[in-house]
Chain A
Amino acid sequence: MTRNLDLRIHRALDGELDRASLSPEELALVERLDAAAWALSDVPPVPGLAQRVLGIIRRPLESPLERFRRWVTSPHPVTVSLRPVYSVIIAVLLVALLWRSPASGPSLADHEGVAQFVARFPEAHSVAVVGPFNDWRPEATPLSDDDHDGVWDARVILPAGPHEYMFVVDGERWVADPMAGKYVDDGFGRQNAVMEVQPVRSE
């Protein structure tokens, strides 16, 4: 029924059906639609409307960088075909590499050891250790006090054996390590502390 009515209205609007054959309700509807179409035909077109609408609905062009970022961050299926023998070789190489890498610090030669210099200078702003191993240069080997408890320390790799040394506090005060227990006259009216560095490796 509705379909027939719609079809009759369409035909009447298209001029294919004589409006005299329409019922009063159909005629009223056709006249309202006519009036609406007439009103719309008077509305001037909005300038640039098509471009504005297309600008909204069209996806903006991506830069190559943006496309790459999207490619990298999106999941992709990856398939690696490898012969088992190559897998074994790669695994062995990785194990060997990890085995040879030192856990921390530089590697030591057989005749070398680590000297740990520790000093307590609560009021100091800087402490350094000097000796023949750094040409007695206060700037060469600073001690650190990371937790600011006044205890300064440094670890230095030296040849095994006895080493003379002093601390330089705040860049100007030269102090023989009071905890060294071994001292030797320095020839300049003071004493150097002496530390025996033990080789890390067994003899």
Chain B
Amino acid sequence: MNPSLLLVLLLLPQQTDGSRLTGHVPAAALPGVQAIITRAAQDSLPTEPLVEKALEGGAKGAPPDMIVTAVGAEEARLRTARDLLRGAGAPGPYATSEIQSVSLALARGLPDRIVSKVVGAVRDTAPGFALHAVADLSAHGFSQDSSVSLIVAALKTGLAGHRLLDVAAAADREVQRGRTRMQALAKVRAILPAIPSQRVPPGAMQGATRPKKGGG
């Protein structure tokens, strides 16, 4: 391939990111943010979440140094998420949404150890829903190890994807009905996989619109 063409292709994503940031992120933050994005791209990490984090900081009126720090923290989480997926033997290559989903689970407070257990248990499918089911349970006061155990049990009964969120919701409902958390986990485990679905009813998309990115 022509070297100049290769250079243009390499620079193209950065220029696109830069044009999206210009005018929406303080100029003082742009060099730092661009450096992080360039580093992430060179390391095959997704850059879109970094652009979004910078835009979020700009929209919220955060000071430039805080924006650079937040984008750097996002990059570190993405790197950890990608490494956890690799370490757990999840088959690559990893989609941006997959890495981002694991990164968000980390941001929600799940430790690396728990994330590795879930990713290892899910194996052939994207771990996003399983991770967030564990994160939901953890957020409602269930122990993280017990939460992983319940979700892994649900996976073994054939539940997958968004249905794992139903498992977490069912456990929370049992607590709201007065059971202890241990009792709630046991109750839900006993009825697997017959967990009530909280699916979006038909017609919910009536009037739904697609959001647009990159306006003005």
Q: Which residues of A contact B (CB under 8 A)?
A: 104-106, 108, 113-114, 116, 130, 132-141, 154-162, 164, 174, 181-182, 184-190, 194, 196, 198-200, 203
Contacts and interface: CB of A to CB of B under 8 A. Distances in A.
A136 B56 contact: yes
Nearest to A104: B206
B114 interface: no
Interface stretch (B30-38, B58-66, B78-86, B142-150): B58-66
Interface in B73-127: 73-74, 97, 101, 104, 107-108
A156 B101 CA distance: 19
B208 interface: yes
B26 interface: no
Contact of A140 (B49, B74, B132, B215): B215
Contacts of A198: 162, 165, 198-200
B26 to A, nearest CB: 13
Interface of B: 20, 24, 49, 52-53, 55-60, 62, 66-67, 69-70, 73-74, 97, 101, 104, 107-108, 128-129, 132, 135-136, 139, 160-163, 165, 198-200, 204-216
Contacts of A106: 205, 208-210
Given A135-B52, A186-B56, 9 more contacts: A108-B205, A116-B200, A132-B56, A135-B59, A137-B216, A157-B205, A182-B139, A188-B60, A203-B162
Contacts of A154: 209
B190 to A, nearest CB: 24
B119 to A, nearest CB: 15
> Chain B binding site: helix, strand, loop or mixed by DSSP?
helix
Contact of B209 (A137, A157, A162): A157
Contacts of B55: 132, 135-136
Contact of B212 (A104, A134, A184, A188): A134
Of A133, A157, A159, A196, most buried by chain B (CB within 10 Å of CB) is A196
4 closest pairs, A vs B, by CB? A187-B70, A155-B208, A136-B59, A132-B52
Of B53, B132, B160, B205, most buried by chain A (CB within 10 Å of CB) is B205
Given A114-B208, A134-B211, A187 B132 contact: no
B5 to A, nearest CB: 30
Given A182-B136, A194-B104, A187 B74 contact: yes
Of A113, A134, A162, most buried by chain B (CB within 10 Å of CB) is A162
A156 B211 contact: yes
Contacts of B74: 187
B62 A188 contact: yes
Contacts of B205: 104-106, 108, 114, 155, 157, 200
